[in-house]
Amino acid sequence: MLTYTLVTDGRSDAALLPILTWLLCEHGITEVQAQWADLQRAGLPRHPSLTDRLRAALELYPCDILFIHRDAERELRQQRIAEIEHALADIPTHLRVAREICVVPVRMTEAWLLFDEAAIKQAAGNRQSQERLDLPPLRKLEDVPNPKQILHNCLRRASGLRGRRLDQFPVHERVRRLAELIEDFSPLRELPAFQALDQNVRRVVVTAGW
């Protein structure tokens, strides 16, 4: 059983867990235990640094692989990776794990969920919806300025709800459900940021001899 821990920018980014598990399975790891580092009760300072969060995650969620997520947003992907590597360098040696992988979607996690219209409709609770969602072209997903807003709007439209019921639609919960429903993330291999993650996962698995 391989155990991995995911440290994210925010709670909604726990939607990355099914993607990471799928990647590990693609590279031959069939028994996986996924952990999202919930650090709300970790006793961190009010505005913890990334180093603070990584240290707490390693203490509370021991693992074989540590995935560290940062959304690229308006920054270059390589700049986010440099920030992660700098934070890791400040972690005490006895806490560090041998295998650490950066997860940096361009621009944010939701961009990697904007390609499966059928799964979006199912996650919205309306599998038979005839609504055309007009998803961005797959190759353009990393250029979409606000994938989170687009995905939320698609889920709301697909739900078919109106008025007060739409106001009460639990969109963040449905985003997490969407990630669980997608069975095949291989279309994302067209995206450079996903390609890089895929290659890093493969490298770690091969190097470790798993």
Distance of CA 13 to the CA centre of its chain: 5
Contact between 182 and 113 under an 8 Å Cβ cutoff? The reply is yes
Q: Is the pTM of this model over 0.75?
A: yes
Contact between 99 and 65 under an 8 Å Cβ cutoff? The reply is yes
The per-residue pLDDT of the chain, averaged, comes to: 95
| Alpha carbon separation from 139 to 15, 136, 172 (Å, rounded) | 21, 8, 25
Span 32-70, pLDDT tens digits = 999 999 998 888 988 899 999 999 999 999 999 999 999
Span 150-202, pLDDT tens digits = 999 999 999 999 999 999 999 999 999 999 999 999 999 999 999 999 999 99
In sequence order, the 6+-apart residues with CB closer than 8 A to the CB of 153 are none
Q: How sure is the predictor about 126, in pLDDT bands with cuts at 50, 70 and 90? A: very high
How large a percentage of the chain has pLDDT more than 90? 86
| 42-46, 79-83, 107-111: range with lowest mean pLDDT | 42-46
- For residue 87, the model assigns a pLDDT of 96
Residue type, 203: R
Place of tokens 């360098």: 89
Nearest residue to 99 (alpha-carbon basis) of 70, 63, 71, 69:
63
- For residue 75, the model assigns a pLDDT of 85
Q: How far apart are CA 67 and CA 180, in angstroms?
A: 18
- For residue 74, the model assigns a pLDDT of 84
Domains of the chain: 2-106+191-208 (3.40.50), 110-181 (no CATH)
Contact between 17 and 51 under an 8 Å Cβ cutoff? The reply is no
167 phi, psi to nearest 5 deg? -60, -30
Reply yes or no: is the peptide bond before residue 165 cis, omega within 30 of 0. Answer: no
Torsion of Cα atoms, 180 then 141 then 5 then 63, to 10°: 110
